[in-house]
Amino acid sequence: MCYHADMKSEEGTFKKTRESLGQHLDKKFAEHVLEKGLSTPQALATDVLRMLKVEPVYTQSEKPEFSEMRRKLNEEPGVLIANHPSGLDAFLLLKMIERKDIKIITSGNALSRLSSMFPEQYFYGVTGSSTAVRKQIQDMTEHIQAGGLLVFFPTGGEDQEAGKGTSYEFKGLFGHLLKEVLSPSDMIYSCWIDPNDIKSFASEKLPRKAGVLSEIILPGDFNVNSLRENGPVRIDERCADVGEWREVISGMKSGRQANQTLTRHFLDQFGQKEISEVRPEWTT
């Protein structure tokens, strides 16, 4: 009995210590954001990637249509969707976005982590009862109708389970937005974040997130990543309107069939036949 009581006491102490450390790091990061004047999601994402020494490589950047794609991304109402191989992905996407009328849809641990870094006005946390979710979807509808952009991962952030008995598949939110919320002319901007580039960081002995921790904690902006080479992450992009995506699921009554078909359409855009994405521990 004493053994179990001691174990329980130690677990409680560890939990309190971890929570206290987390609060301290959140405070230090908030101070860093104020000191650097990082007032927009793009500025903050750019700074985090700088500290990590991670460099997005946009594979469509040399194409003649690239500037028009990015204009639409930063001006038109709609949604930005992407695969989700790591905890870096929100930063990689936000670096692309110059506009401020964005809402990032997230939940669970990702919500608590990102909301400690970005102002609350940029988030929809999809959690709670069915009544709460309906209210959140209504808020999303109003945001898009006002000309805004939603940013989210349509698998619900479960890419890391693909290849381990769990199929890569969109959840129902994307299909609902397509059928019930978005207008035919609204934009669907799709990104493919190369999971192999993400995996290349996993073998590094010193996690890159140590660079963020050292710079916000140690004096003189010292960053342990300073001697590293920039780590490239390739990002492919496509831009289409809602009408194209609706056509893909035209006549389908089964929600599961529609989700699977939308998933396949997304993968086909980027020539992806199989998914095997594992979230490296350092990015969580």
The CB density around residue 78, as the number of other CB atoms within 10 Å, is: 24
pLDDT per residue over 14-36, tens digit each?
Answer: 444 555 666 777 788 888 888 88
Instruction: Please give the biggest Cα pair distance in the chain.
Output: 71
Is CATH 3.40.1130.10 what the domain over 53-204+225-283 is classified as, yes or no?
Answer: yes
Please, which residues bridge with residue 104 across strands?
A: 123, 151
**Cβ atoms of residues 241 and 187 within 8 Å:** yes
Residue corresponding to tokens 């050292």: 214
* Residue 277: closest CA among 212, 198, 170: 198
**Cβ atoms of residues 41 and 49 within 8 Å:** no
Give the mean pLDDT of the chain: 83
pLDDT per residue over 47-56, tens digit each?
Answer: 999 999 999 9
- CA distance linking residue 260 with residue 239, whole number of Å: 20
* Residue 118: closest CA among 100, 136, 141, 96: 100
- CA distance linking residue 61 with residue 249, whole number of Å: 30
Q: What are phi and psi of 150, to 5 degrees?
A: -100, 140
**Cβ atoms of residues 154 and 261 within 8 Å:** no
pTM greater than 0.75 (yes/no)? yes
**Cβ atoms of residues 280 and 86 within 8 Å:** yes
Q: Would you say residue 114 has pLDDT above 80? A: no
